[in-house]
Amino acid sequence: MAASSQPTLIGLDWGTSSLRGYLLASDGGVIESVVKPWGIQHLPVGGFAGAFQDVVAAWRGRDQEAASLPVVAAGMVGSRQGWREVPYVDCPADAGAIARGLLAFDSEAGRIHLVPGVIQRGPLPNVLRGEETQIVGALAREPALAAESLVVLPGTHSKWVRVRDGQIIRFETFMTGELFAVLREHSLLGKPAREAGADAIGAGEKAAAFARGLAVARESGAEGVSGRLFTTRSLYLTGELPPAATLDYLSGLLVGEEMRSAIAAHRNQPLPAIVLIGDAALCGRYQEAVATFDVTPARVLGDSAAAGLWEVASAAGLVSAARDSSRSAPHG
Amino acid sequence: MAASSQPTLIGLDWGTSSLRGYLLASDGGVIESVVKPWGIQHLPVGGFAGAFQDVVAAWRGRDQEAASLPVVAAGMVGSRQGWREVPYVDCPADAGAIARGLLAFDSEAGRIHLVPGVIQRGPLPNVLRGEETQIVGALAREPALAAESLVVLPGTHSKWVRVRDGQIIRFETFMTGELFAVLREHSLLGKPAREAGADAIGAGEKAAAFARGLAVARESGAEGVSGRLFTTRSLYLTGELPPAATLDYLSGLLVGEEMRSAIAAHRNQPLPAIVLIGDAALCGRYQEAVATFDVTPARVLGDSAAAGLWEVASAAGLVSAARDSSRSAPHG
């Protein structure tokens, strides 16, 4: 086994809906990974410890050295609803500050280090948990982002994170994914598609409806989409939107509103290029949304949790650069 | 029985969640009224005909003349999910146009005239159904409103209706009530209050949280509240908002966003004074919201469905002014 593929760290990206485990090598590379549907609200028998045991045991049981591999976990596992609540670290925060906020404890299944979230204090406080690790990973993967960048993590709660000099300096939260889900499942707007089935039309028609929603959001200007959400209904009632396309249109309205509002928030300064992190299909939709507003370019970087877990562990001294002298510069 | 209290018309305000019946006199005054929980999605045994029979029969059975009283019904009873779908009349629309759009049919329980909704055509079509009758009633009650007014009907789907020269000339829909309900019941934002119980604190603290939400919406400027909804969560997490006050704050954010957006839509013209129609408690909250934004006065007119049903029936010739020469001028 080459030094660079020596198991060195177990990283867990443990969110609300899933648990992703990574066996990381001494250069931070991923040797193996596993995905379980064991988000903190969908735990298996045995709860947190049972899930931990299942994911970690196979890797730890391999040999003498692996038995003591440190485990670092990021995400909602460290929230009030998680295994243990880890106090937030204050914004601005970099990898070092996040590492200093690690909460270590000995569970019945073994020792674990939980990564803290980040809090932005003030009259309108804001928090993130899990995204800080993605950001740290993104900066490790692309050191050029550290100087000045705008990282967008679409999802249930989208985060728009400003990075400067390697620090998270400010962020905003848009509940776009959750809004879409509750409107789809529980509102009048979701009813036609719930009844028709969202797959009753072709991909082209769905894409056109999404683009139409984006355009309506862009054109809404300072009004925003609150007075236009109902067009999801009225365009269906007038026969201009087939029932199966209504949710794509609604998604366009909501993603477009996120974009519109975020751009309005930066109106006194040019927007840096946007880097998207997260699910590929969702990032693709956001990339289209950024293009519709045509104010800055956007590209997709992809999931950076494993790199972030490595970086935090490294900054905390849980893994040592000395262990493998071939470790690459971005991790330094 | 004085001529003015002679039963002349049965009016039904038949919406999604309730059925209100009015026995109207020859001067349009309400002789008796009844409220049943039989909205079109909560019908009793016997469905539409059963509900109709129950409300109408008691009044019709009184005497020979009452047996033939015409029945006019407004609201969602005329929608696609209603008893019969009544085609919308085009905006601009006045009482005459609405009366010409009445759909009469003979149900198994007797003849009924359904009031049409109003449609505003264009790239972003909009519809209302039920509110047109409230507006017609408001103009009958206060003829001074007919020249130029802005009537706001808060509710599940709030309507902002511009009236000029006795016509509905334009309107917007805000899904504020429905948004609040789905977020309260199904989102993360509603969770602390669902667990704490919304009555765990005093009215003063709840009012302060509502006012705080309004202020945040006002201060959001062109950004709007989409990036601030999450503060309902973060203010709870930081202990600045007790769990039982979170929904009042959220309500303030959402009502404030409606206000902010509606004001932004009128930015090139001064807002006329606002007249609020609907549930008294809800109108009170909207009155506070208008005051927070401080751009125009607002007053509460109250429910005008009965007056509107009378006006539409009168314009359709279902009730005759000749029947009672003492009928007052506003109804002419």
pLDDT tens, position by position, A310-329? 999 999 999 975 334 343 44
- CATH for B3-130+306-331 is 3.30.420.300
CB contact under 8 A, A230 and B126: yes
> What is the nearest CA distance from A318 to chain B, expressed in angstroms?
30
Considering only CB atoms, which chain A residues are within 8 Å of B119? 238
Considering only CB atoms, which chain B residues are within 8 Å of A182? 182-183, 186-187
Q: Is the pLDDT of residue B2 over 70?
A: no
Q: Is the pLDDT of residue A4 over 70?
A: no
CB contact under 8 A, A227 and B174: yes
Which of B228, B231, B264 is nearest residue A222 as measured by Cβ atoms? B264
Q: What is the pLDDT of residue B3?
A: 55
For A309, which DSSP code? H
List, in order, residues 6 or more apart from A77 with CB less than 8 Å away: A12, A14, A15, A40, A48, A83, A114
Which of A229, A235, A238 is nearest residue B175 as measured by Cβ atoms? A229
pLDDT tier for residue B109 given thresholds of 50, 70 and 90 = confident
The per-residue pLDDT for range B122-161, each reduced to its tens digit, is 999 999 999 999 999 999 999 999 999 999 999 999 999 9
pLDDT tier for residue B198 given thresholds of 50, 70 and 90 = low
Return the HEC string of B55-72. Answer: HHHHHHCCCCCHHHCCEE
Q: Which two tokens stand for residue A207?
A: 């894409």
Q: Which two tokens stand for residue A277?
A: 């992190």
Considering only CB atoms, which chain B residues are within 8 Å of A78? none
Task: Tell me, yes or no, if A240 comes closer than 8 A to chain B by beta carbon.
Answer: yes
Question: How many CB atoms are closer than 10 A to CB A143?
Answer: 13
- Spatial separation of the C-alpha atoms in residues A265 and B8, rounded to whole Å: 59
Task: Tell me, yes or no, if B122 comes closer than 8 A to chain A by beta carbon.
Answer: no
List, in order, residues 6 or more apart from A119 with CB less than 8 Å away: A88, A89, A90, A91, A125, A126, A127, B238
Q: What is the pLDDT of residue B330?
A: 42
- Determine whether A68 is exposed, middle or buried from the number of CB atoms within 10 Å of its CB (0-12, 13-18, 19+): exposed
Chain A neighbours among B 19-38 (CB < 8 Å)? none
Residue A79 parent element (H or E): none
List, in order, residues 6 or more apart from B208 with CB less than 8 Å away: B245
- Spatial separation of the C-alpha atoms in residues B51 and B57, rounded to whole Å: 10
**CA nearest B186 in A: which residue?**
A182
- CATH for A3-130+308-331 is 3.30.420.300
Q: What is the pLDDT of residue B160?
A: 97
pLDDT tier for residue A269 given thresholds of 50, 70 and 90 = confident
* Biggest distance spanned by C-alpha atoms of chain B: 69
Average pLDDT over chain A, rounded to an integer: 92
- Of A130-134, A273-277, B62-66, which gets the smallest average pLDDT? B62-66
Strand pairing of A71-74 and A110-114? parallel
pLDDT tier for residue B324 given thresholds of 50, 70 and 90 = very low
Q: What is the pLDDT of residue A330?
A: 42
What is the side-by-side order of every strand in the sheet holding A19-25? A30-36, A19-25, A7-14, A71-74, A110-114, A103-107
Q: Between residues A309 and A196, which one has the greater pLDDT?
A: A309
Specify whether the CB–CB gap between A171 and A152 falls below 8 A.
Answer: no
φ, ψ for residue B12, nearest 5 deg? -120, 130
Chain A neighbours among B 132-161 (CB < 8 Å)? 157, 160
Q: Which two tokens stand for residue B328?
A: 């007052």
At A217, the amino acid letter reads A
* B262-268 average pLDDT score: 86
pLDDT tier for residue B276 given thresholds of 50, 70 and 90 = very high
Specify whether the CB–CB gap between A133 and A151 falls below 8 A.
Answer: no
pLDDT tier for residue B68 given thresholds of 50, 70 and 90 = confident
Q: Please list, residue by residue across B82-113, b when 16 or more beta carbons sit within 10 angstroms of its beta carbon and e when fewer do.
A: bbeebebbebbbbbbbbbebbbeeeeebbebb
* B270-280 average pLDDT score: 91
Q: Please list, residue by residue across A90-101, b when 16 or more beta carbons sit within 10 angstroms of its beta carbon and e when fewer do.
A: ebbbbbebbbeb
Q: What is the pLDDT of residue B331?
A: 39
Q: Which two tokens stand for residue B114?
A: 């359904």
At B87, the amino acid letter reads P
Which of A125, A186, A238 is nearest residue B125 as measured by Cβ atoms? A238
Question: How many CB atoms are closer than 10 A to CB A329?
Answer: 6
List, in order, residues 6 or more apart from B322 with CB less than 8 Å away: none
Taking the complete model, does pTM exceed 0.90, yes or no? Answer: yes
Strand pairing of A103-107 and A30-36? unpaired
Q: What is the pLDDT of residue A60?
A: 85
What Å distances lie between residue A120 and B235, B242, B287, CA to CA?
Answer: 11, 19, 33
Q: At what angle do helices B203-219 and B246-265 cross, to 10 degrees?
A: 40
* B80-103 average pLDDT score: 97
Asked whether this chain's domains A3-130+308-331 and A176-300 adopt the same fold, the reply is: yes
Instruction: Give the domain ranges of chain B.
Output: 3-130+306-331, 176-300
- Spatial separation of the C-alpha atoms in residues A85 and A89, rounded to whole Å: 12
What Å distances lie between residue A48 and A24, A77, B39, CA to CA?
Answer: 21, 9, 46
Q: What is the pLDDT of residue B36?
A: 97
Specify whether the CB–CB gap between A254 and A225 falls below 8 A.
Answer: yes
CB contact under 8 A, B178 and A185: no
The per-residue pLDDT for range A251-268, each reduced to its tens digit, is 999 999 999 999 999 877
- Percent of chain A residues topping a pLDDT of 90: 83
CB contact under 8 A, B187 and A172: no
CB contact under 8 A, B227 and A262: yes
* B96-114 average pLDDT score: 95
Q: Which CATH class is domain B176-300?
A: alpha beta
What is residue B266's three-state secondary structure? coil
- For the four alpha carbons of B14, B20, B22 and B28, in that order, the dihedral sign comes to negative
**CA nearest A85 in B: which residue?**
B237
The per-residue pLDDT for range A26-77, each reduced to its tens digit, is 999 999 999 999 999 999 999 999 999 999 988 988 777 777 899 999 999 9
CB contact under 8 A, B185 and A186: yes
> What is the nearest CA distance from A68 to chain B, expressed in angstroms?
35
Q: Is the pLDDT of residue A244 over 50?
A: yes
- Spatial separation of the C-alpha atoms in residues A10 and A55, rounded to whole Å: 9
Considering only CB atoms, which chain B residues are within 8 Å of A125? 231, 234-235, 237-238, 240
- Spatial separation of the C-alpha atoms in residues A321 and A276, rounded to whole Å: 29
CB contact under 8 A, A230 and B175: yes
Question: How many CB atoms are closer than 10 A to CB A14?
Answer: 30
What is residue A18's three-state secondary structure? coil
